[in-house]
Chain A
Amino acid sequence: DAGITQSPRYKITETGRQVTLMCHQTWSHSYMFWYRQDLGHGLRLIYYSAAADITDKGEVPDGYVVSRSKTENFPLTLESATRSQTSVYFCASGENTEAFFGQGTRLTVV
Chain B
Amino acid sequence: AQSVTQLDSQVPVFEEAPVELRCNYSSSVSVYLFWYVQYPNQGLQLLLKYLSGSTLVKGINGFEAEFNKSQTSFHLRKPSVHISDTAEYFCAVSERRAAGNKLTFGGGTRVLVKP
B61 at the interface (CB under 8 A from A): no
**Chain B, 1-29, CB within 8 A of any chain A CB:** 4, 6, 9
Instruction: State the CA gap A31–B107 with chains docked (Å).
Output: 24
Instruction: State the CA gap A48–B104 with chains docked (Å).
Output: 13
Contact partner of A94 (CB less than 8 A), chosen from B6, B9, B100, is B100
Instruction: State the CA gap A98–B51 with chains docked (Å).
Output: 10
**A97 near B49 (CB under 8 angstroms)?**
yes
Given contacts A33-B102, A58-B102, contact A98 B49 (CB under 8 A): yes
**B43 near A95 (CB under 8 angstroms)?**
no
**A41 near B107 (CB under 8 angstroms)?**
yes
B83 at the interface (CB under 8 A from A): no
**A48 near B42 (CB under 8 angstroms)?**
no
Q: How many residues of A contact B (CB 8 A)?
A: 26
1/0 per residue A24-64: CB within 8 Å of B? Answer: 00000011010100001111110010100000001000000
Place the interface of chain B in its size category.
20 to 34
Instruction: State the CA gap A100–B103 with chains docked (Å).
Output: 11
**B101 near A43 (CB under 8 angstroms)?**
no
Instruction: State the CA gap A106–B105 with chains docked (Å).
Output: 19
B32 at the interface (CB under 8 A from A): yes
A102 at the interface (CB under 8 A from B): yes
A-B contact pairs, 6 of them (CB 8 A): A31-B100, A45-B103, A48-B102, A94-B101, A104-B42, A104-B43
Q: B: which residues have CB within 8 A of A?
A: 4, 6, 9, 32, 36, 41-46, 49, 51, 90, 92, 94, 99-108
